[in-house]
Copies of this chain bind each other. A is one copy, B any other.
Amino acid sequence: MYCNKNNYRMNNARFAISLHILTLLDKAKEELLSSDYIAGSININPVLVRKELSNLRNHGFVASKEGKNGGSYLAKPAHSILLSAVYLSVRQNNLLGTSKNTPNPHCPVGKQINTHLNNLYEATEAALIKELSGKSLAEFSMKFD
């Protein structure tokens, strides 16, 4: 048994990696896939795959079995995994990039910019999530020959 706290930071390739993993697991049906096998398909380091699997597990998308002949598998039907949920599981930052800047508080624009940017970002991200929520892993996976 392990207890972990992962701390990624950005919106990088994580969505792509997670979706790749989930698609492989869906295609594998009952069969368990090892992180090494998955890493070989994505062509990234196996440790990154395990970290991503850890996150996907925490969100209830996959389950893993430890030990010899262990591996991972989908923990719920692919049609019940919406791409919006996958996005939200890897999302850390605001989509359009948060300015970690502390704008000049003496400037009337600088003083309020972060509030207004955040409002804009929320609306924008909501549109994106809505779009993704119209697609499930099953639909995505089905596109592959």
A residues with a Cβ closer than 8 A to B are 11-17, 19-20, 23-24, 27, 40-44, 83, 87, 95-104, 107-110, 112-113, 116-117, 120, 123-124, 127-128, 130-132, 135, 140, 143-145
Contact = CB atoms under 8 A, between A and B. Distances in A.
Contacts of A24: 107, 109
Given A116-B140, A128-B128, A109 B44 contact: no
A108 B19 CA distance: 15
Contacts of A99: 13, 16-17, 20, 42
Given A103-B43, A104-B41, A16 B145 contact: no
A4 to B, nearest CB: 23
29 contacts: A11-B97, A13-B99, A13-B101, A15-B97, A16-B98, A16-B117, A20-B109, A20-B113, A23-B113, A24-B109, A41-B103, A41-B107, A41-B110, A42-B110, A43-B101, A43-B103, A43-B104, A87-B96, A95-B95, A109-B144, A112-B144, A120-B140, A123-B131, A124-B128, A127-B127, A127-B130, A127-B131, A128-B128, A128-B131
B135 A131 contact: no
A108 B145 contact: yes
A116 B24 CA distance: 14
